[in-house]
Structure 1
């Protein structure tokens, strides 16, 4: 009986506690959903309902839902359809003529002696994408940006066809030499890094990923460091930025040295 009397609304203490709790709830709701949003000078509210919706994080009437835009340009290239997959002799011939302008940096046969990237045998989609990204301002370089500004769509397709036609430098990793770095062979699964070769050609090639064997060690390190710093941002979906930022400086050095390894001049068949 005593318990029933305590929870009865006839008990003045029960009635008082219910009213006090309700009053606190109403005051808190008014403060959180009405008063504080209106006091925020940055908010422009139309009425009481808009104030409550805004405080609750709900869309407002007439409020445009604009997508978030990146603060930098992103690549417009559709890799799957970037270049033709059939060999075009005319395109290769036109590309060979255009490539004479590229020889001073990339070598007359697409093999650079100036720490510029080797283009001989590079995947056509890769050559085209980089040219297009330079032209669109997605990737910036003091030499390449002005050069690509005057290239037409056909010029870029022809250059891609020509360089893909040339024989590429193979990897040079003789038995008994230093073993391949773990980052190249196995990656680092706990850090979300796949083996380098699973995208870049020695194990498998992911469309749009460049062939790395024989590239300049300095060039490879520079590009990885550019991905780390964010000064290069033309990788699709931030793939290389995420990978490079997860790599240690030692792993960057090891991977660059491994891919740049080539036979001594006296053993070269070039």
Structure 2
């Protein structure tokens, strides 16, 4: 019986053949295919980034260099959010008086703006930071946030997170869409509950349950078109680009009813 060692020429040929096939396959999928399908890609690294779904130099150049078009660099970790105390919540309640027209007296909107009551504190803080840094565009929010200090943004986040998450009870027997529970692995779409609650909650990912249907639809469409780009590493844009209009409608309606 032949030994399974590299001294055996057949073993060497087999291992070498597998390695060659692996390299050819990687080169085809990560270099040749992206370059063949995108004329703007001329560098190998850009091709690899494109195939892996992360931002390379081509994407960065396309987005421009000014803060209004540059992707968000605001990273919020759990350790950054100190436990809120009564003083911080009280200051936030005072600051929130200017927010009532859009976000409601108790953080529940009647104007199809985000419901902030009971929202994840880190999620609110990140969005305020992104508005202030011009990473997220809004003709209404940017002027309001422009003069807020870091502590004031923390106080607002603490106040709204402190409020109870008021929402209508979900209709009984309604099945969750597969995109919510399973995602679509063949399209590299992760399950919504892996970030937005359910089986996991990312530090700065917002809770979507009970948000206005129009708001969720508009944000998914904005991520899909690239007009909203304050998601780190294009996580939401990579998902939204592959969603159909019908899937966006389904997700928006589902979360609004929860």
TM-score > 0.5 by shorter chain: yes
Aligned to 1:247: 243
The answer to whether residue 209 in structure 2 is matched with residue 209 in structure 1 is no
Aligned to 2:127: 130
Partners of 1:83 and 1:146 lie apart in 2 by: 25
Aligned to 2:91: 94
Pairs within 5 Å for 1:1-270: 68=57, 70=61, 71=64, 72-80=69-77, 83-169=80-166, 172-176=169-173, 178-261=174-257
Aligned to 1:50: none
8 Å contact kept, 1:171–1:213: no
Gaps of 5+ in 1: 1-56, 58-66, 263-270
Q: Secondary structure at the match of 1:200?
A: coil
Offset, 1:84 = 2.3
Gaps of 5+ in 2: 1-43, 45-55
Q: Structure 1 residues 82, 235: CA separation in 2 closer, same or farther (over 3 Å shift)?
A: farther
Off by >6 Å, runs of 4+ in structure 1:
none
Q: Secondary structure at the match of 1:258?
A: helix
Q: Which has the higher contact order (CA 8 A, sep 6+)?
A: 2
- Aligned pair count reads 196
Q: Secondary structure at the match of 1:79?
A: coil
Q: TM-score normalized by structure 1?
A: 0.68
Offset, 1:181 = 1.5
